[in-house]
Structure 1
Amino acid sequence: MEITRTRPSLLSNIAHGLGFWSERSAVHEAAAQGRAEELERLIENGATVNIVAVDSITPLHEACIQGQTQCARLLLQAGARVDARNIDGSTPLCDACAAGSLECVRLLLEYGATVNPPLFTFSPLHEACMGGNSECVRLMVAEGAFMEAHDCHFGTPLHVACARQHIDCVKVLLNAGANVNAAKLHETALHHAAKANSLELIELLVEFGGNVFARDNLGKKPSHYTSHGSSAALCLQLYESEPLSLQQLSRVALRNALGKRALEVVPHLGLPNRMVCYLTYMPAPTLGLLTC
């Protein structure tokens, strides 16, 4: 049933117990613009911190999408719902990750924000990848975000990062053990890299075991999506015609066997430093005392 604009406040109040629907309240405005003193006065005077606009955006959503940490803290202290969802299903944590606001992300986690939403929905990790915010990606992974979380439209976070060509985010996900060959309608991250004609992404994905022969629902390999004669096309053609080295195949096999534990386990296997660096795809500084 379509909800008309004539009686939205009553319906919202009954259904959600969140206060009244509005276009944008004074609380929304103060939160979005970082006017902390004004927001504090509004709260002290009894303003509803969970008031929702017609698109179900709360003041906390506003504060987080703008990276207004102080305002977000005031709202949370006053009882704002940390996992409120707007009309698109996004939570304040999604918005903070989209904005790349590490301070807001940490604050929301402090207040128990849900890292992994219901299945088949866009997650905070997806949002961080969409925005190219690699530090937020790193933090979400550290907090237990599902790297194989599958949005019905966009696929996994790795699909999103590759489609947007955010290489730093792709590196974080792959190093943390994301499945390089996860598929959405049989389409892999390598298909996205090929569509973008990104040589750097293609080489990176293949290094982590990306399957150059994977076919999507149209029966097309990644190479079918590259521009004829481009460096990306030539690179994929080479990978298709030449087998990977035994050294590379061994690395991929070991990484697949260890999965998300690889970065933790490999340095303690008693292997030579150079081999540890190779197996973990890490430069020497990242491994502390190890020297490659």
Structure 2
Amino acid sequence: MEVSRPYFFGDIGCWAERTEVHKAAFQGHALLLRQLIESGASVNIVAVDSITPLHEACMQGQTQCTRLLLDAGAQVDARNVDGSTPLCDACAAGSLECVKLLLEHGAAANPTLTSRTTSPLHEACVGGNSDCVRLMVAEGAHLEAYDLYFGTPLHIACANAHVDCAKVLLNAGANVNAARLHETALHHAARRKSVDLIEMLLEFGGNVYARDKYDRKPIDYTRPGSPSALCLEFYERTPLSLQQLSRVSLRMALGTRALEVVSKLNIPSRIIKYLCYC
């Protein structure tokens, strides 16, 4: 068996090229990984890019290997060279089971962000993994966590045209008009020509007149006469009804507590469904 020659590196563990432990975790070879662990191999050994075996397992959604590593004492919030944690990798891979395991072992839902990192919630939105988004929201992931390149998770969901992820975020109370350099989620939806996203954002109170740093409205990113342009034109010409405005105002006032509070109101179920966008 090929064996790397690591050296100790502070409190993190050891430093080496990809080891057999990394390879077994990445490839999902649970039996081999168990044997390596039982023979004394370090589960916190890091490669030159600071990737641990736990990162490797989570990148590939290898649930069994993830469990073995965590049970053997793998550092649940270890950071790679870009600052990403295993939870970021599991969310990016869309591995709901790995995400659950990491959270059960104390993984931080909101790790500190740097100029090079995104949050686990951002990563779930990049991949369009709505189940992971839903779980992270339930775990208290910050809806307005800010990535320097894209902005909030809602920005990323819309930039990638992931309608289901956007709906989860909006229903959880994400700010529909949050801006990065004056650019809103609606600008992203218009660029992607996603009528479904455009309509949903507008129903949640998106500002059809918002202008970005280039002084462009969302409609300026559409082709005249296209379905997305016609949709935005309609909303520019037709103000929201009093009924819709009341729903938007209530939801914005309640913020992240909206679904919890609305479901307990002593009002007809049809109104509750309307307020919850059901």
TM class by shorter chain equals over 0.9
> 1:14: how far off?
3.8
Give the Cα separation in 2 of the matches to 1:263 and 1:17: 41
Does the Cα contact within 8 Å between 2:198 and 2:228 map onto a contact in 1? yes
Aligned residues: 272
Give the Cα separation in 2 of the matches to 1:266 and 1:110: 29
CA gap 1:105/1:17 in 2 versus in 1, 3 angstroms = closer
Equivalent position of 2:129 in the other structure: 133
Equivalent position of 2:16 in the other structure: 21
**Residue of 125, 143, 146 corresponding to 1:150:** 146
Superposed CA offset, 1:163-196 (max 9, x none): 1111110111011111100111110000000001
> 1:230: how far off?
0.6
Instruction: Return structure 1 stretches of 4+ with deviation > 4 angstroms.
Output: none
Between the aligned residues of both structures, percent identity stands at 69
Q: How does 1:201-220 map to 2 (within 5 A)?
A: 201-220=197-216
CA gap 1:17/1:67 in 2 versus in 1, 3 angstroms = closer
RMSD between superposed Cα atoms in Å: 1.4
For normalisation by structure 2, the TM-score amounts to: 0.94
> 1:9: how far off?
5.5
Superposed CA offset, 1:90-122 (max 9, x none): 110011111111111111011100100114540
Q: How does 1:80-159 map to 2 (within 5 A)?
A: 80-119=74-113, 121-159=117-155
Equivalent position of 2:54 in the other structure: 60
> 1:212: how far off?
0.5
Q: Which moved more, 1:232-241 or 1:145-154?
A: 232-241
- 1:32 matched to 2:26? The reply is yes
Gaps of 5+ in 2: none
> 1:88: how far off?
1.6
Gaps of 5+ in 1: 1-7, 283-292
Q: How does 1:183-194 map to 2 (within 5 A)?
A: 183-194=179-190
Give the Cα separation in 1 of the matches to 2:240 and 2:113: 36
Give the Cα separation in 1 of the matches to 2:213 and 2:33: 51
Give the Cα separation in 1 of the matches to 2:206 and 2:37: 52
Give the Cα separation in 1 of the matches to 2:172 and 2:103: 20
> 1:53: how far off?
1.5
For normalisation by structure 1, the TM-score amounts to: 0.90
